Amino acid sequence: MAKIYENTRIYLVSKRYVVWSFTQYFSEISIKGLEHLPKNEPVIFAPNHQNALMDALVILALPPHDQPKVFLARSDIFNLPKIVVKFLQFLKIMPAFRIRDGYENLAKNQESFATADETLLSHSALCVMPEGNQELERKIRPLVKGIFRIAFSAQQKMPAGKSVNIVPVGLDYGDYIYPGAHLIVNIGEPIKIADFMDIYNENQAKGMNAIKDKLYNELKTLTLDLATDSYYDSFYTAVEACQTDSLSSLNLEDNTYNRFIARMHVGKQLVTTEESSTVEEMEAFDRLCKKYKEGLQKVKIDTETLLQPKPSTFKKMLNYAVIILNTLLLLPGLVFNIIPVAVIASIPKLMKIKFIGFYSSVYYVASIVFFPIFYLIQALIINSFCGLSWWMLFILIPLQFHLGKLALYLSKNIKALWKEVRLYKACRKEENELEKLKKMREKIISWCK
- Computed from CA positions of residues 313, 314, 318, 321, in that sequence, does the dihedral angle turn out positive or negative? positive
Model pLDDT, residue 53: 85
pLDDT band at 102 (very low <50, low <70, confident <90, very high): low
Q: Which residues make Cβ contacts (< 8 Å) with residue 159, sequence separation at least 6?
A: none
pLDDT in tens, 142-152: 998 889 999 99
Residues 27-50 have a mean pLDDT of: 94
Q: Hey, is 25 helix, strand or coil?
A: coil
Interstrand relation of 125-127 and 69-74 (parallel, antiparallel or unpaired): parallel
Kindly indicate the confidence band of residue 248, based on its pLDDT and cuts at 50, 70 and 90.
very high
pLDDT in tens, 178-219: 999 999 999 999 999 999 999 999 999 999 999 999 999 999
Which CATH number is associated with domain 9-220? 3.40.1130.10
In this structure, what DSSP letter does residue 71 have?
E
Nearest to 322 by CA among 181, 423, 178, 419: 419
Comparing 73-87, 224-238, 299-313, 331-345, the range with the smallest average pLDDT is 73-87
Instruction: Give the DSSP letter string of 430-449.
Output: -HHHHHHHHHHHHHHHHHT-
